[in-house]
Amino acid sequence: MEAKVEKLDTDTYMIDGYDLHLPERTGIYVLDTEALTIIETGPSLSYPQINAGLEQLGRSLADVRHIIVTHIHLDHSGGCGQLLKETPNATVHVHPSGKKHLVHPEKLIEGAKLVYGSSFDDLFDPVIPVPEAQVNICNDGDRLHIGKNRALAFFDTPGHAFHHMSILDERTNALFTGDAVGILYRGFGHEKPLVLPTTSPPQFDTASMKESWKRIEALQPTTIYFGHFGGSDEIADIFRSTSEWLEKWISLTKEVASEQGGSGTLSQRLYQSVYDAYSDQDEKNPAWEAIKMDCHVSALGLYQAHEKGRL
């Protein structure tokens, strides 16, 4: 499969990682500077796309100096270990709470198998440990210089996960938010962007997510680049969408819990709520498959948060 590379800005590109074997699912961001930088690796199955994408840009894996992951869920960091085999000069940058899971990914693997079941091997295997010597911890407010007059700033943005950070490109004022804001279904929906919150288990926390949204809005980014998928400069509409859907899904969670239903029932309700709002969209659009999977994962996190008093 030929790599799909999209130019987003001067020296900023996105490679389609084909996560879940779906197009326009997970973006691998490339900052083509003196110190070649990749933001997110996707799972290991994204490795061929990254390799081919860099070749299209006239670069190679050996040129990579920095690999940054917004958080350590396997669809964002699972390919780190494999990528490092071909990027011996690269340093991996991660939230302080994420380092141990990159070096010892056993718990990550165990948790992902609970969510994805028999599909795990096809979607994520192999998950190769990252050498500790190549991992750098990024604290809130840290900055990383990646080229002449170009630096990245790191900000804690928990909610989706405790170990989540977002990265501000200080030159372009674009913010790479991973899953902190939600999932953008690019080209799907009506005139305004559809952004659904992503409330994955086991660490989703409503209050933390809302505080992170406030912090991100206060940074006043000109563009938000999502882990899933691509970017948008419609900042107000992004937050309007994800906020409205989160409130709707919280209500559905409480409703299902009051009926003694489980996460399976909630998953169906979440999906139905989106389908009802966008029933005019082509049923063959691959976004529907992604939305169904996302509702399944978000239902697990919402229900667990309800049981733990974090809703």
The pLDDT value recorded for residue 94 is 99
pLDDT tens digits, the chain, 311 residues: what are they? 689 999 999 999 999 999 999 899 999 999 999 999 999 999 999 999 999 999 999 999 999 999 999 999 999 999 999 999 999 899 999 999 999 999 999 999 998 998 888 999 999 999 999 999 999 999 999 999 999 999 999 999 999 999 999 999 999 999 999 999 999 999 887 789 999 999 999 999 999 999 999 999 999 999 999 999 999 999 999 999 999 999 999 999 999 999 999 999 999 999 999 999 999 999 888 899 999 999 999 999 999 999 999 99
Ranges of each domain in the chain: 5-239, 240-308
CATH numeric code, 5-239 = 3.60.15.10
Please compute, for residue 243, the number of CA atoms within 13 A of its CA located in the half-sphere on the CB side.
12
Closest CA to 16 of 197, 228, 177, 198: 228
Closest CA to 87 of 52, 51, 62: 62
The pLDDT value recorded for residue 1 is 67
Please compute, for residue 147, the number of CA atoms within 13 A of its CA located in the half-sphere on the CB side.
15
The pLDDT value recorded for residue 153 is 99
Sheet bearing 91-94, strands edge to edge: 5-9, 12-16, 27-31, 36-39, 64-68, 91-94, 135-137
The pLDDT value recorded for residue 34 is 94
Nearest-angstrom CA–CA distance, 193 and 266: 24
Enter the DSSP assignment of 110: H
Rounded to two decimals, the pTM is 0.96
Closest CA to 27 of 177, 222, 196: 177
